[in-house]
Amino acid sequence: MGRDAGAKDLAVVLIDMQPGFLKKFSPEAVQSLVHAQRKLLTYAAREDLLVLEFRYRGHGDTIDEVRDAISNVPRLVPFVKAHQSGFQDDLEEGNGYVENLLRQQGISRICFAGVNKSACVYSTALHAAERGFSIITSEDLVADSSSVHQGSIPGAMRWYKTHSTLRSSVEDITGPIEVPPLSREPTFLQKCAAYFQ
């Protein structure tokens, strides 16, 4: 077992693994990111962890390669968001739904995965930390595309290093884990490969 896993107070938050964002990455970068996230989601399914899946309105569904791993997660709560932060609707509407859901499930630590780490992932992690949740991620679970500068937040990477537990690899969180083969064709990655040829 990894250094950061193993307790029921841990939830996983997956952010914006959608074609509208991932088309800005190289196929190799997407493949590496997806592989790490599939490890995390396999672990979450095995350990019965709560998984919140955030999708940004208007950018498509979560890609099939990640959906395949999500399909095995028994405690999945999907959200469609209209802002960078998954907590933003809570802030604007004052209902605290996401925060209350996490608290009702006994969650005190959140492991983040997704894109873009200097925009949507950062905004959501920042709002979670401001609400007292401990933040965990690894360098292979989050990524920025080369075109993220427009929506990125200055100082985001410095924040991860000083306000979260930042690991090098997902296996530093989960421990060694085998990823089952895809149950369907990797359509998004195939389309990426064709596009870059």
Average pLDDT across the chain, whole number: 85
Q: Do 86 and 13 touch, CB atoms closer than 8 A? A: yes
Q: Is a pLDDT exceeding 70 seen at residue 106?
A: yes
Q: What is the mean pLDDT of residues 159-169?
A: 90
Q: How many CA atoms lie within 13 A of 182 on its CB side?
A: 15
CA torsion, points 19, 164, 40, 138, in degrees to nearest 10?
70
Q: Can you tell me which residue has the tokens 């950018």?
A: 59
pLDDT tens string 4-29:
556 789 999 999 999 989 988 888 88
Instruction: Between 195 and 159, name the one with better pLDDT.
Output: 159
Instruction: Between 88 and 147, name the one with better pLDDT.
Output: 88
Domains and CATH numbers, the chain: 10-196 (3.40.50.850)
pLDDT tens string 107-151:
999 999 999 988 899 999 999 999 999 999 999 999 987 655 555
